[in-house]
C-alpha cells in the first residue's frame, strides 16, 4: 500500500504494533490513525506473522511500516515484498549505513531483488515496469539513536532516498551513558537532529508517549509521530476502566 508523508504544517500519527495479531490491525484500521508500524525489532514477528498483519492492513486500508530487526538486504526485501508502505531502519549511525539501507530498498539505482510474485508486485498482475515504479515509492525512515548518528545527522539526511530521520531517544540516552530519555542532554541532541532533517528538506519523526509531548515537538517541526503501542493503548484503557469502578462494585 502506498503512503505519502505529511507536507507543510500537516502531521501524521501512528502507533507501534507489538502483538502479532491481524485482528489488532483491523481494529486500528477503524481508529483514524494515519499508519502503524509493525515492530519486528522488539516484538516476535516472523515472516509469516508479518505477512498476515500486512494483509490485514491492506484489507483495513491502514498503511503499515515495518521496523526491521536489522538493515540487511534480506530483511528489507522481505518487508517490502510483503507489501509494507515503508521501513523503519534501526541503528543508522552513518551516511554509509543510510546509503546501504536505501540501496537495499530501491530497484532503480539500488540492489533490491525483483520478483513479480509477491504482494508488492500484485502477485504477478503488475508488469515489471509498474512494479518497479511502485516499489521505488517505499518510504525509508532512518533511526537516529546513537551519539555517532547525532553527529552524522546532517550527512545522513543528505543521502538521496532517505525520507525520514526518526529519533529514538531511549537508545540515544543509553548511547550517551544515561538512563533517562527525558534528560536535557537527550532533548538537546533531539532538537539538533530535527534541525538537520528540516534543513535537508526531509521529514523529522519521533516516538512520543503522550499527546502533550507530541504537540511540543510538532511545534519544533516534527511531523511524523509514533505514539505509544497497541500494548500501551490496551493497558491504559484497562487501567482507566479499573479506576472507574464505583466503591459499591469494588468492595
Max CA distance (Å), the chain = 67
Question: What is the C-alpha separation between 42 and 164, in angstroms, rounded?
Answer: 20
The closest of 8, 67, 1 to 34, measured between CA atoms, is: 1
Catalytic residue among 12, 42, 91, 104: 42
The grid coordinates of residue 165 equal 530521520
The grid coordinates of residue 65 equal 511500516
- Identify the burial level of 212 via C-beta atoms within 10 angstroms of its C-beta, where 0-12 means exposed, 13-18 middle and 19 or more buried: exposed
The closest of 184, 7, 164 to 86, measured between CA atoms, is: 164
Q: Compute the Cα dihedral for 43, 64, 51, 91 and give only its sign.
A: negative
Query: Can you state the angle between helices 73-81 and 95-105, rounded to 10 degrees?
Result: 40
Burial 116-141 (b: 16+ CB within 10 A, else e): eebbbbeeeebeeeebbeebeebbbb
134 annotated active-site: no
Positions annotated as catalytic residues are: 42
Amino acid at each position: 500500500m502506498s503512503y505519502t508523508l505529511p507536507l507543510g504544517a500537516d502531521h501524521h500519527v501512528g502507533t507501534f504494533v507489538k502483538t502479532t495479531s491481524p485482528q489488532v490491525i483491523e481494529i486500528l484500521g477503524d481508529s483514524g490513525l494515519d499508519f502503524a508500524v509493525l515492530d519486528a525489532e522488539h516484538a516476535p514477528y516472523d515472516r509469516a506473522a508479518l505477512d498476515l498483519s500486512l494483509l490485514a492492513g491492506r484489507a483495513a486500508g491502514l498503511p503499515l511500516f515495518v521496523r526491521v530487526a536489522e538493515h540487511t538486504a534480506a530483511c528489507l526485501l522481505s518487508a517490502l515484498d510483503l507489501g509494507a508502505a515503508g521501513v523503519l531502519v534501526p541503528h543508522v549511525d552513518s551516511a554509509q549505513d543510510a546509503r546501504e539501507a536505501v540501496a537495499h530498498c530501491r530497484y532503480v539505482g539500488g540492489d533490491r531483488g525483483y520478483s513479480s510474485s509477491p504482494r508488492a508486485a500484485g502477485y504477478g498482475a503488475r508488469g515489471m515496469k509498474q512494479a518497479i515504479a511502485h516499489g521505488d515509492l517505499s518510504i525509508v525512515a532512518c533511526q537516529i539513536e546513537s551519539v555517532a548518528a547525532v553527529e552524522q545527522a546532517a550527512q545522513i539526511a543528505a543521502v538521496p532516498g532517505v525520507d525520514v530521520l526518526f529519533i529514538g531517544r531511549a537508545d540515544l540516552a543509553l548511547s550517551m551513558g544515561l538512563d533517562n530519555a527525558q534528560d536535557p542532554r537527550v532533548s538537546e541532541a533531539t532538537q539538533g537532529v530535527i534541525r538537520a532533517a528540516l534543513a535537508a528538506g526531509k521529514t523529522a519523526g519521533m516516538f512520543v508517549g503522550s499527546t502533550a509531548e507530541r504537540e511540543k515537538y510538532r511545534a519544533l517541526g516534527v511531523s511524523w509521530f509514533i505514539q505509544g503501542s497497541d500494548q500501551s493503548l490496551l493497558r491504559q484503557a484497562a487501567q482507566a476502566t479499573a479506576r472507574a469502578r464505583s466503591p459499591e462494585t469494588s468492595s
